[in-house]
Amino acid sequence: MKFFLFTLLVFSVSLLNAQQFMTRAGQVHFFSETPMENIEAENSQMSGLLDASNGGFAFQVQMRAFHFEKALMEEHFNENYVESETYPKATFQGSIRDWDAGWNDGESHDVVATGSFEFHGVKQDRDISGKLVWNGKSWEIETHFPVALEDHQIEVPAVVKDNIAPVIDVDVKATLDPR
């Protein structure tokens, strides 16, 4: 009986010390700049998980959660370009290269996230640079990276090709709290 209680106590303590951090309110912003028109959208419903014991992570963004200044842009984005009914989310899953648990020192660290980025049904192996900071209770991440529409088989009709940049700038910010 004592062995059972001891094992249960050790198991419970290890669960309490689990090093998983998550968000359901990460911020994703994208921007398309052309001489004809700028297009940008915000999404504040990115979810993500970071395992601070090894640097493993998984993030996902619901496509329908992007909001635009103009309702027509949002409709075209969902129906004509990212085809949200067929491809409802984008994901990035992998690990932070050369993960170091000592990064919880309150300093900003340049990191590279290596993994599989899936968008519009197309998976790509990607290395994405970013910043990681431990604020004393949570991990804060920030990154900026390009997404080429052609790489994800997103076709832009000739009539509007001058209105949409072939490469979209994406910014991500999130605070991951203990799970």
What's the confidence (pLDDT) of residue 18?
A: 56
Average pLDDT for runs of 10 along the chain of length 179: 44 54 98 94 97 97 97 94 96 97 94 98 98 97 97 92 94 97
Q: Which structural domain, as residue segments, surrounds residue 170? A: 20-178
Q: Does residue 48 belong to any structural domain of this protein?
A: yes
Q: Does residue 15 belong to any structural domain of this protein?
A: no
Q: Does residue 7 belong to any structural domain of this protein?
A: no
Q: Does residue 36 belong to any structural domain of this protein?
A: yes
- CATH classification of the domain holding 165: 2.40.128.110
Q: Does residue 3 belong to any structural domain of this protein?
A: no
Count of domains for the chain? 1
CA distance 166 to 111: 27
What's the confidence (pLDDT) of residue 10?
A: 42
Q: Does residue 151 belong to any structural domain of this protein?
A: yes
CA distance 49 to 13: 21
Q: Does residue 33 belong to any structural domain of this protein?
A: yes
pTM: 0.86
Q: What angle do CA 51, 84, 156 make, to 5 degrees?
A: 115
What's the confidence (pLDDT) of residue 157?
A: 87
Q: Does residue 87 belong to any structural domain of this protein?
A: yes
What's the confidence (pLDDT) of residue 101?
A: 84
